[in-house]
Structure 1
Amino acid sequence: MLEEKKLTKKDYVVVSSMLFALFFGAGNLIFPLHLGQLSGSNWLPAALGFLVTGVLLPLLSVLAISITRSEGVYDIGKPLGATFALVFMVLIHGTIGPLFGTPRTATVSYTVGLAPLIPAQYQTLGLVVFSAVFFGLAYFLSVEQSKIVSNVGKLLNPVFLVLLAFVFFLGFSNPMGTPVKQAVTSAYKTGAFTNGFLQGYNTMDALAGLAFGVTVVTAIKYMGKKNPNGIAMVTARAGLFSMGFEGVIYVALILLGSMSLGKFKLSANGGIAFDQIVNHYLGVVGQSILAALITLTCLTTAIGLVAAFAQDFHKHFPKISYKTWLAFTSAASFLTANLGLNQIISWSTPVLMFLYPLAMALILLSVLSPLFKRDPVVYKFVVTFTVIPALFDMMAAFPPVVSQSAFGKLMANFQQSYLPLAQYGLDWLLPALLGMVLGVACHLVKQHAATKVQVPQEDQN
């Protein structure tokens, strides 16, 4: 057998760069900026909350892939059975893929970067043309799986980081205001941490980390690593580096958003805030830089999302080729993108409120799985206790047409009256912990019973 290739430091940097670029997309730019504006002088506790769901959880999702030697989101849910794992995989890929996440990469880059340069009467046509070219490029750059690392890690991501560093240089060398003096919106006066925590859901990174597992593992295999232990170690190291770097950028973006209140009023979203910031410093040139910055970061994430979708679906439905699945998710994302950014965000939020607690539970179970040997009984208790409050959270987050219906109000009243921490959107937390305690207790009882059954042969004679 040929000796397995040992990766160099340069290889690790390239894998880390690719992983960072896959994670860092549309929401990763606009949501931290808007969080900074919403929290004002309370930016620090808001940032800490955001880092939990925006950095720690995605890192744990990468570690979960590494610890369980998984190759994707399906393997993470497999202890609960093949049917659950397949349904969970489809829900995750649908959410971060053609239904919500992937279309958002095109709509954000168009709305923030190019729309301000296009006359109002051509906005709809502009989005159609832009999204067609955008997803055409995403398909082209991910059609050869062996080249994804090179296209993203060596080419697109370094250009993006140079442009972002330039924006940070301008923002911090000549600040628009002092963060400690900025106004705080009412929700962030007492609940800055929990609101920052919930804002981190919008990045979709904990879900994406599970889905990107197949892309990262495939890329590492193409670099010469074949042994599962070696692949797991490379994945874990790259995850630590890339997510730590992402955390630094998040804090800088939150600070930049808070400082922008010295010149601008609270914006409707982070895209508008970013547009105002770069135009303040650079005018029309700034708009061009912003367009390039947003398009690059969104394109790298789109490449990862369409590739992960196609790789996972081809693996589980092999009669359809990788390229066909890739064409399907690219075309479907194009169609969804033309519904508009606001529609995508309003309908993705309730789905995220349902899926995130389940994803967080499975991520933590995977990380802790060596302690209970991935015993399915522990998984079943935790997920069963988590899914019920998650359904209530989903209903409460729907647009008014659903959440304010008679049934929606009935569920909301029950949730607020009987589920602890519901007012913070964390009513799943205590049930999940209770499920963990009961599941581990059952595992220990089973283990003890199995030990008693294994009586030494000489004792039987």
Structure 2
Amino acid sequence: MEKLVERKLTKKDYFVVSSLLFALFFGAGNLIFPLHLGQLAGHNWLPATLGFLVTGVLLPLLSVLAIAITRSKGVYDVGLPLGPTFALVFMVLIHATIGPLFGTPRTATVSFTVGLAPLVPQQYQQVALFGFSALFFLAAFLLSYKENNIASNLGKVLNPVFLVLLFLVFLVSFLKPMGSVSQAAPTAQYLHGAFTNGFLEGYNTMDALAGLAFGVTVVTAVRAMGKKREKSVAAVTAKAGFFSMSAVVVIYLLLIVVGAMSLGRFKLSADGGVAFSQIVNAYAGSFGQAVLATLITVTCLTTAVGLVAAFAQDFHAHFPKVSYHTWLALSCLASFLTANFGLEQIIAWSTPMLMFLYPLSMVLILLSVFSPLFKRDGAVYFMVVLFTVVPAFFDMVVAFPAVVSQSAFGKAVAAFRLHYLPLASIGLSWVVPALVGLVLGLGVYFYKKARVSVGVTEKE
């Protein structure tokens, strides 16, 4: 009975957990992608924002709720209704994508490219990236070395610094706007398909994937605060998730509007990082660039800490012969090596994986959230995932760089996809098949339930 005695969390405790979740989710991509979306959408920023919020906020929030509702300890448990083999493969794919292959290296390359590269002569860029990324991942390793200190390091120290700097950027931007949002011209894609394109742009944040992976970090932090029962841990996680993602909504809205206003002075930029650099330099020159470098580095470091910790915790849990600290070191080392390929290569090869994993993650998140309605029945999971994985694979092939997408195989897949799969032209070819799988899976579930009921009645 003594083990079940729990400490009642204070408002300060909830604030720390909410701040932890915010810090884990909000990285450099969460700064640059909404800003660029504002430039792309122009005066159509509102429908684009609504689409972006679905995949950039609602899905990450649902991923936290999925962890809470199913009382999972991480991404492995979310896929477990489909069997341990699927769960393990899914966990490895998620962590590889948001971890050492793409997501974690991007935290270093974005902070360098946006914040420091403009201050470094061109001939020293590669050397500077090497040195910066080495120091960056050394800091991430040290901050995440003690698992129980992660909440304190992120929620109490780095997060407030980030918020203060970001507030200064917003304050100056709205006191002296660069242009009128109503007069900002949208790009051709956002003239009529603003919502859908905003929806797909939200994939780039990787937050729905990260939400599943960060579950273990959040659960560890909540338990360290004195919560022992699974139900209590789930309730704290859900409540903190709601508060943290509400803050993200406000910041996204402000960033998108700032991006749209910037068209009054600048042309459409290549990406949000360039736009951010232009805006800050226009207002504050080299001092502004130094502030931007600090802002980007702080927010990237918070995300990197969460990613390497989640990677190490999950892999240690499933491959316990290797210690948490060894997995942590391997994650940081691999991320450091990948980062030195540069931001452009990382983004080019991460997009296809996101087109494949996001649909699978979305359906698993939604199935987990609504799982009490069908008792986490494996047949429902199996049908939905089966009907999702094939079109998601097709979307991945089409999104690969030209070496794959323009090959004979890539062109054949693209032609088949457009001809036979509804919504393929807007990148959502998985939606209709997933709904078909859901209907079939629920049909199997209710049929089995009816058979059991009939059997019970006959025995009586």
2:48 maps to which residue? Answer: 46
For residues 238-274 of structure 1, give each alpha carbon's deviation from its aligned partner in whole angstroms, at most 9, with x where no partner exists: 1000111101101110111110000101110100000
The residue aligned with 2:350 is 348
Aligned partner of 2:298 in structure 1 is 296
Q: Which residue of 2 aligns with 1:237?
A: 239
Q: Distance in 2 between matches of 1:196 and 1:210?
A: 22
- Alignment match of 1:189 (pick from 191, 215, 226): 191
Q: Secondary structure at the match of 1:127?
A: helix
Residue 418 of structure 1 is matched in structure 2 by 420
Q: Deviations over 1:206-242 (max 9, x none)?
A: 0000000000001111111111000000000010001
Q: Which amino acid aligns with 1:26?
A: A
Aligned residue in 2 for 1:32: 34
Distance 2:227 2:96 in 1: 30
Give the alignment of 1:207-286 within 5 angstroms. Answer: 207-286=209-288
Tell me which residue corresponds to 1:157.
Answer: 159
Distance 1:26 1:281 in 2: 20
Aligned partner of 2:382 among 380, 383, 400: 380
Deviations 1:383-415 (A, max 9, x none): 000001101100111111111111111110111
Letter in 1 for 2:110: V
Partners of 2:241 and 2:436 lie apart in 1 by 30
Task: Give the corresponding residue for 2:150.
Answer: 148
Residue matched to 1:61: 63
Pairs within 5 Å for 1:400-411: 400-411=402-413
Tell me the distance in 2 between the aligned counterparts of 1:28 and 1:182.
22
Structure 1 spans left out of the alignment, 5+ residues: none
Deviation at 1:183, TM superposition (A): 1.4
Instruction: Kindly provide the amino acid, as one letter, of the partner of residue 179 in structure 2.
Output: G
For residues 315-374 of structure 1, give each alpha carbon's deviation from its aligned partner in whole angstroms, at most 9, with x where no partner exists.
000000000000000000000000000000010000000000000000000001000000
* Greater mean alpha carbon deviation, residues 1-10 or residues 76-85: 1-10
Q: 1:57-96 to 2 correspondence within 5 Å?
A: 57-96=59-98
% identical equivalent positions: 69
- For residue 128 of structure 1, the aligned residue among 130, 133, 137 is 130
Separation (CA, whole Å) in 1 of partners of 2:311 and 2:399: 26
Partner of 2:312: 310
CA-CA distance at 1:440 after TM superposition: 0.6
Q: State the match for 1:176 in structure 2.
A: 178
1:407-428 Cα offsets, whole Å, 9 max, x none, are: 1111101111110000111110
Letter of the 1:440 counterpart: L
Distance 2:243 2:49 in 1: 19
Q: Deviations over 1:160-192 (max 9, x none)?
A: 000001100011111000111011111111111
Q: Could you say which residue in structure 1 is the equivalent of 2:337?
A: 335
- Number of residue pairs matched? 458
* Structure 1 CA distance for aligned equivalents of residues 422 and 246 of structure 2: 32
Aligned residue identity for 1:328: L
The offset of 1:70, in angstroms, is: 0.3
* Code of the aligned partner of 2:259: G
Cα distance in 1 between the residues matched to 2:326 and 2:312: 8
Tell me, yes or no, if structure 1 residue 17 matches structure 2 residue 19.
yes
Structure 2 residue corresponding to 1:202, chosen from 189, 200, 204: 204
* In structure 1, distance between residues paired with 2:402 and 2:264: 34
Structure 2: unaligned runs, 5 residues or longer: none
RMSD: 0.7
Q: In structure 1, what is the Cα distance between the partners aligned to 2:455 and 2:309?
A: 49
> Aligned letter for 2:268?
L
Distance (whole Å) between structure 1 residues aligned to residue 413 and residue 20 of structure 2: 43
In structure 1, C-alpha distance between the alignment counterparts of 2:425 and 2:361, rounded to whole Å: 21
Q: 1:101 matched to which residue of 2?
A: 103
In structure 2, what is the equivalent of residue 7 of structure 1? 9
Deviation at 1:456, TM superposition (A): 6.6
Aligned residue in 2 for 1:443: 445
**Equivalent in 448, 452, 455 of residue 453 of structure 1:** 455
Residues in 1 aligned to 2:194 and 2:209: alpha-carbon distance in whole angstroms: 23
Q: Secondary structure of 1:99's match?
A: coil
Q: Which amino acid aligns with 1:245?
A: A
Off by >2 Å, runs of 4+ in structure 1: none
State the 1:455 CA deviation.
3.7
Alignment-derived partner of residue 363 in structure 2: 361
Q: How far apart, CA to CA, are the structure 2 residues paired with 1:372 and 1:430?
A: 21
Q: Separation in 2 of the partners of 1:369 and 1:273?
A: 42
Normalised to the residue count of structure 1, the TM-score between the two structures is: 0.99
| Distance across 1 between alignment mates of 2:277 and 2:242 | 31
User: Aligned letter for 2:72?
Assistant: S
Q: Secondary structure of the residue that 1:261 maps to in structure 2?
A: helix
2: distance between equivalents of 1:145 and 1:285? 36
